[in-house]
Protein backbone atom coordinates (compact mmCIF):
# COMPACT_ATOMS: atom_id res chain seq x y z
CA UNK A 1 0.00 0.00 0.00
CA UNK A 2 3.04 2.28 0.25
CA UNK A 3 2.90 4.51 -2.76
CA UNK A 4 -0.53 3.27 -3.78
CA UNK A 5 -2.22 5.96 -1.74
CA UNK A 6 -0.45 8.69 -3.67
CA UNK A 7 -0.87 6.90 -6.98
CA UNK A 8 -4.58 6.49 -6.33
CA UNK A 9 -4.94 10.17 -5.49
CA UNK A 10 -3.15 11.09 -8.72
CA UNK A 11 -5.22 8.64 -10.77
CA UNK A 12 -8.47 9.95 -9.33
CA UNK A 13 -7.47 13.52 -10.08
CA UNK A 14 -6.39 12.81 -13.62
CA UNK A 15 -9.04 10.37 -14.84
CA UNK A 16 -12.68 10.96 -15.49
CA UNK A 17 -13.82 7.44 -14.82
CA UNK A 18 -12.23 4.09 -14.14
CA UNK A 19 -13.36 1.61 -16.75
CA UNK A 20 -9.96 -0.08 -17.09
CA UNK A 21 -9.81 -3.60 -15.76
CA UNK A 22 -7.03 -2.73 -13.39
CA UNK A 23 -8.04 -2.77 -9.79
CA UNK A 24 -6.78 -2.28 -6.30
CA UNK A 25 -9.08 -3.59 -3.63
CA UNK A 26 -8.91 -2.69 0.04
CA UNK A 27 -6.83 -5.22 1.99
CA UNK A 28 -8.05 -6.83 5.17
CA UNK A 29 -6.09 -9.01 7.53
CA UNK A 30 -7.66 -12.04 9.06
CA UNK A 31 -6.64 -14.70 11.49
CA UNK A 32 -8.28 -18.05 11.32
CA UNK A 33 -9.52 -19.10 14.75
CA UNK A 34 -9.39 -22.81 14.10
CA UNK A 35 -5.98 -23.23 12.55
CA UNK A 36 -2.36 -22.54 13.33
CA UNK A 37 -1.68 -20.83 10.02
CA UNK A 38 -0.21 -17.33 10.13
CA UNK A 39 -2.52 -14.40 9.32
CA UNK A 40 -3.42 -13.93 5.72
CA UNK A 41 -3.94 -10.74 3.78
CA UNK A 42 -7.11 -10.61 1.79
CA UNK A 43 -8.62 -8.34 -0.82
CA UNK A 44 -12.20 -8.62 -1.96
CA UNK A 45 -13.02 -6.70 -5.08
CA UNK A 46 -15.41 -6.45 -7.97
CA UNK A 47 -14.26 -6.37 -11.56
CA UNK A 48 -16.47 -6.54 -14.65
CA UNK A 49 -18.60 -9.66 -14.36
CA UNK A 50 -16.69 -11.10 -11.40
CA UNK A 51 -16.38 -10.94 -7.66
CA UNK A 52 -12.74 -11.68 -6.88
CA UNK A 53 -11.16 -12.67 -3.59
CA UNK A 54 -7.42 -12.58 -3.46
CA UNK A 55 -5.53 -13.99 -0.50
CA UNK A 56 -1.85 -14.10 0.41
CA UNK A 57 -0.16 -16.41 2.96
CA UNK A 58 1.55 -15.31 5.08
CA UNK A 59 0.27 -11.73 5.30
CA UNK A 60 3.76 -10.34 5.91
CA UNK A 61 6.30 -12.69 4.33
CA UNK A 62 10.01 -12.28 5.00
CA UNK A 63 12.72 -12.36 2.32
CA UNK A 64 13.45 -15.96 1.36
CA UNK A 65 10.20 -17.22 2.89
CA UNK A 66 7.89 -19.36 0.80
CA UNK A 67 4.51 -17.72 0.23
CA UNK A 68 1.31 -18.42 -1.69
CA UNK A 69 -1.50 -16.45 -3.28
CA UNK A 70 -4.97 -17.82 -3.78
CA UNK A 71 -7.46 -16.31 -6.17
CA UNK A 72 -11.19 -17.00 -6.20
CA UNK A 73 -13.25 -15.50 -9.02
CA UNK A 74 -17.00 -16.00 -9.23
CA UNK A 75 -19.54 -14.64 -11.72
CA UNK A 76 -21.56 -11.81 -10.19
CA UNK A 77 -24.78 -13.09 -11.75
CA UNK A 78 -24.86 -16.76 -10.82
CA UNK A 79 -21.96 -17.22 -8.38
CA UNK A 80 -20.30 -19.86 -10.59
CA UNK A 81 -16.50 -19.91 -10.38
CA UNK A 82 -14.48 -18.70 -13.35
CA UNK A 83 -13.04 -21.72 -15.13
CA UNK A 84 -10.00 -20.86 -17.23
CA UNK A 85 -6.37 -19.94 -16.77
CA UNK A 86 -4.88 -17.22 -14.61
CA UNK A 87 -1.38 -15.85 -15.12
CA UNK A 88 0.40 -14.39 -12.09
CA UNK A 89 3.04 -11.71 -12.63
CA UNK A 90 5.17 -10.01 -9.98
CA UNK A 91 6.70 -6.54 -10.34
CA UNK A 92 8.36 -3.88 -8.21
CA UNK A 93 5.91 -1.35 -6.81
CA UNK A 94 7.65 1.67 -8.27
CA UNK A 95 6.46 4.79 -10.07
CA UNK A 96 8.59 4.13 -13.12
CA UNK A 97 10.27 1.04 -14.47
CA UNK A 98 11.04 -1.78 -12.07
CA UNK A 99 11.63 -5.47 -12.59
CA UNK A 100 8.79 -7.67 -13.83
CA UNK A 101 8.62 -11.47 -13.80
CA UNK A 102 5.96 -14.07 -14.58
CA UNK A 103 5.40 -16.40 -11.63
CA UNK A 104 3.31 -18.93 -13.54
CA UNK A 105 0.01 -19.75 -15.22
CA UNK A 106 -2.45 -21.77 -13.18
CA UNK A 107 -5.59 -23.76 -13.86
CA UNK A 108 -8.49 -23.99 -11.44
CA UNK A 109 -7.95 -26.41 -8.55
CA UNK A 110 -10.97 -27.06 -6.37
CA UNK A 111 -12.41 -23.64 -7.25
CA UNK A 112 -9.15 -21.83 -6.49
CA UNK A 113 -6.17 -20.61 -8.51
CA UNK A 114 -3.04 -21.11 -6.37
CA UNK A 115 0.38 -19.64 -7.06
CA UNK A 116 3.48 -20.00 -4.90
CA UNK A 117 6.22 -17.37 -4.66
CA UNK A 118 9.59 -16.92 -3.04
CA UNK A 119 11.20 -13.48 -2.99
CA UNK A 120 14.71 -12.89 -1.68
CA UNK A 121 14.77 -9.10 -1.51
CA UNK A 122 12.77 -6.97 0.94
CA UNK A 123 10.59 -4.34 -0.70
CA UNK A 124 7.21 -3.36 -2.06
CA UNK A 125 5.83 -5.59 -4.79
CA UNK A 126 2.66 -5.99 -6.81
CA UNK A 127 1.36 -9.37 -7.84
CA UNK A 128 -0.93 -9.14 -10.84
CA UNK A 129 -3.42 -11.86 -11.72
CA UNK A 130 -4.45 -11.77 -15.37
CA UNK A 131 -7.13 -13.72 -17.16
CA UNK A 132 -9.40 -13.42 -20.17
CA UNK A 133 -13.15 -14.00 -20.03
CA UNK A 134 -15.60 -13.38 -22.86
CA UNK A 135 -12.82 -11.75 -24.88
CA UNK A 136 -12.26 -9.17 -22.13
CA UNK A 137 -8.87 -8.98 -20.40
CA UNK A 138 -8.93 -8.74 -16.61
CA UNK A 139 -6.05 -7.61 -14.35
CA UNK A 140 -6.17 -7.64 -10.58
CA UNK A 141 -3.28 -6.04 -8.71
CA UNK A 142 -2.40 -7.11 -5.23
CA UNK A 143 0.11 -5.21 -3.07
CA UNK A 144 2.65 -7.36 -1.25
CA UNK A 145 5.20 -6.18 1.30
CA UNK A 146 8.25 -8.38 1.80
CA UNK A 147 10.16 -7.77 5.04
CA UNK A 148 10.65 -4.37 6.66
CA UNK A 149 10.70 -1.45 4.24
CA UNK A 150 11.82 2.06 5.15
CA UNK A 151 8.98 4.56 5.50
CA UNK A 152 11.21 7.61 5.24
CA UNK A 153 9.84 8.63 1.80
CA UNK A 154 6.83 10.74 2.85
CA UNK A 155 8.76 12.42 5.68
CA UNK A 156 11.54 13.24 3.24
CA UNK A 157 9.09 14.70 0.70
CA UNK A 158 7.32 16.72 3.42
CA UNK A 159 10.62 18.09 4.72
CA UNK A 160 11.84 18.99 1.23
CA UNK A 161 8.61 20.87 0.44
CA UNK A 162 8.62 22.73 3.78
CA UNK A 163 12.32 23.65 3.63
CA UNK A 164 12.01 24.76 0.00
CA UNK A 165 9.03 27.02 0.77
CA UNK A 166 10.61 28.47 3.92
CA UNK A 167 13.91 29.21 2.17
CA UNK A 168 12.14 30.82 -0.81
CA UNK A 169 9.97 32.93 1.47
CA UNK A 170 13.01 34.02 3.46
CA UNK A 171 14.93 34.98 0.31
CA UNK A 172 11.98 36.96 -1.08
CA UNK A 173 11.44 38.74 2.24
CA UNK A 174 15.13 39.68 2.51
CA UNK A 175 15.01 41.11 -1.02
CA UNK A 176 11.86 43.04 -0.10
CA UNK A 177 13.53 44.50 3.00
CA UNK A 178 16.66 45.39 1.05
CA UNK A 179 14.58 47.06 -1.66
CA UNK A 180 12.72 49.01 1.03
CA UNK A 181 15.98 50.18 2.59
CA UNK A 182 17.38 51.27 -0.80
CA UNK A 183 14.18 53.17 -1.64
CA UNK A 184 14.25 54.86 1.76
CA UNK A 185 17.91 55.81 1.25
CA UNK A 186 17.07 57.27 -2.23
CA UNK A 187 14.24 59.31 -0.70
CA UNK A 188 16.55 60.59 2.05
CA UNK A 189 19.28 61.59 -0.44
CA UNK A 190 16.71 63.25 -2.75
CA UNK A 191 15.33 65.23 0.18
Partner 1 sequence: MIMTHPGLPVYWQVLIGVFMLLVSAWAIFAKAPEKTSHVGWPLERMPLVGLLIRFLNASPWPLLFAKIIMVAIFITVIYSGLQGTPIPERNLATVLTWNLWWAGLVVAIFFLGSAWCAICPWDALATWLVRMRLWGRGKLNNSLNIKVPKWLRNVWPALLMFMVLTWFELGVGVTLDPYATAVLSLLMVVMATVSLALFEDKAFCHYFCPVGRTVGYYSQLAPVALRPLDPNICAACTTLECYHGSETVEPCPTHLVMGTLKENTFCTSCGNCVQSCPDQNVSWHLRPQSVEVKQDARPNWDDAWFMLGLLTLTSFHGITMLPFWYDGISQFGGWIGDSGQLLLSFSLGMLFVMLAPIALYAALVYLAQRWTGNTVRYRQAFSVLAFASLPLAFSYHIAHNLNHLVRESHDLWLLFTNPSGEGMLPLSMMEKHERHLQMIISQDTLFLLQGGLMLFGFWLAIQVIRYRAFALYSETKLWVLPIVLFAILIHGFDLWLMAQPMTMRM
The footprint of partner 1 on residues 77-116 (CB under 8 A) is: none
- Nearest-approach distance from CB 129 to partner 1, in angstroms: 13
Q: How far apart are CA 6 and CA 126, in angstroms?
A: 15
Residue 53 to residues 43, 75, 80, 115, 140, Cα–Cα distance (Å): 6, 12, 14, 14, 10
Q: How far apart are CA 28 and CA 89, in angstroms?
A: 22
Residue 18 region by backbone torsions, left for phi larger than 0, else alpha for psi between -120 and 50, else beta: beta
Helix (H) or strand (E) holding 171: helix 152-190
Q: Which stretch binds partner 1 (CB under 8 A): 24-32, 78-86, 88-96, 115-123?
A: 24-32
Q: Which is nearer to partner 1, 62 or 104 (CB)?
A: 62
Q: Which stretch binds partner 1 (CB under 8 A): 27-35, 64-72, 81-89, 110-118?
A: 27-35
First to last CA, the chain: 67
Q: Which stretch binds partner 1 (CB under 8 A): 22-30, 82-90, 97-105, 112-120?
A: 22-30
- Nearest-approach distance from CB 34 to partner 1, in angstroms: 10
Binding mask 114-153 for partner 1 (x = CB under 8 A): -------------------------------x-----xx-
177 sits near partner 1 (criterion: CB under 8 A): yes
Name the site residues for partner 1 (rule: CB under 8 A).
1-2, 5-6, 8, 12, 17-31, 33, 39, 45-48, 59-60, 76, 145, 151-152, 154-155, 158, 161-162, 165-166, 169-170, 172-174, 177
Amino acid sequence: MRSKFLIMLLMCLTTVSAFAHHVLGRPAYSLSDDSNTPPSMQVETQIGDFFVTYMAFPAFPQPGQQGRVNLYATHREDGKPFDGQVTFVIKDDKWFGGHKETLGTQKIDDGVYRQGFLIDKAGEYIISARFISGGEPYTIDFPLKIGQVSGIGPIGIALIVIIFVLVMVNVIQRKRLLRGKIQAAHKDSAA
